[in-house]
Amino acid sequence: MNKIEKNTPTVIFIMGPTACGKTNLAIKLTNYLPVDIVSVDSGLVYRDLDIGTAKPTKQELLKTPHKLVNIKDSTESYSAGEFKENALVAISDIINNKRIPLLVGGTMLYYKVLLQGLAVLPSSDIIIRNNLLEEAKNIGLHSLHSKLKIIDSISANRIHPNDLQRVVRALEVYLISGKTLSELIDVSNWKFPYKVIQFSLIPRDIFLLHKKIEYRFKNMLDLGFQKEVEYLFNKNNLNINSCSINRIGYSQMWNFLSNNWSYTKMIEQSIIATRQLAKRQMTWLKKWHNIHHIYNDNPDVSINKILSILKKSILM
């Protein structure tokens, strides 16, 4: 942790695996603290991606606004570097309004980039990129991911085997610079300019979390998730590798709409992928530094623990 001046403003982080109740807890915290919420979720930035990202409802967003939600069209890309710049502006605005920034979400890479910075990476090379995309078609994305694992095991462990964009980018960086993506990312002199108090919500019962994940996805289907993806599917400028679509739930539904998978397989694969995401998020959190782990499934108990820790940190 960087040395912080005594009067440096405080920023609160609430992290945790998908479906653990981060957003609901954050909304409840607004009743106790003068906080404004900043979303740390790579899916919530997109308009038209509502049900499948478990985005707060329009009524919830009206009552408790979240910054960095609905800021991108589904046809646009969004990077960790963009998040860092957008988040810093949002944090500054909140502090200038004499309130406390409360960052909430499960995109762990975004937190890492915000705290540790992002190295200057080489610009994309269209020839190398196209060659890698062609290679992915010929040998399969999982084989390309295995190739990355040999070259850069650290990046490979951070990147899901189905994430074509990030697998290709990691290999592209290596082929252009001769250095791995993980090597370049570690070379950063960035210092987060605020005091940060970090919390993680860790379910005591992983089986219960798995049941919540299954229930939530099936509830998404009841809410009209298929129609949401059908609207995106019928756009001419989107495909399964688009930044907005290449995410859990959306890519599986896309495969169903493309007649590649059955409806049953789409459901099964969506639930499996979400459980795997939760496992990766908890692995990140176990290695995270300077964090308060809140092991409880009761939101009221969790809030009381968080408030107690904040009070001891002379925030209140």
Q: What is the mean pLDDT of residues 269-288?
A: 96
Maximum distance among all alpha carbons in the chain?
59
pLDDT at 191 over 50: yes
244 falls within a domain: yes
Tell whether 203 and 297 lie within a shared domain: yes
Tell whether 207 and 98 lie within a shared domain: yes
**What is the rounded distance in angstroms from the CA atom of residue 42 to the CA atom of residue 72?**
10
Are 226 and 255 contacting, i.e. CB atoms less than 8 angstroms apart?
no
153 falls within a domain: yes
pLDDT at 132 over 90: yes
Alpha helices, DSSP H, located in the chain: 22-29, 58-63, 80-96, 108-116, 126-139, 141-151, 153-158, 164-177, 181-186, 206-223, 225-233, 250-257, 263-286, 299-312
Q: So what's the pLDDT on residue 185?
A: 72
pLDDT at 4 over 70: no
- CATH number of the domain to which 260 belongs: 3.40.50.300
pLDDT at 1 over 50: no
Tell whether 97 and 208 lie within a shared domain: yes
Q: So what's the pLDDT on residue 2?
A: 43
Tell whether 132 and 58 lie within a shared domain: no
Q: So what's the pLDDT on residue 44?
A: 98
pLDDT at 6 over 60: no
Q: So what's the pLDDT on residue 160?
A: 86
Tell whether 192 and 178 lie within a shared domain: no
What's the alpha-carbon Rg for the chain, to the nearest Å?
20
As for how many domains the chain has, the answer is 2
Give the SS3 label for residue 5. Answer: coil
Range of the domain at 159: 126-186
Are 94 and 36 contacting, i.e. CB atoms less than 8 angstroms apart?
yes
Boundary residue ending a domain (186, 212, 228): 186
**Mean pLDDT, all residues of the chain:** 93
Q: pLDDT > 70: what percent of the chain?
A: 96
Which of 303, 314, 305 is closest to 30 using CA atoms? 303
Per-residue pLDDT tens digits for 135-185: 999 999 999 999 999 999 999 988 988 889 899 999 999 999 999 988 887
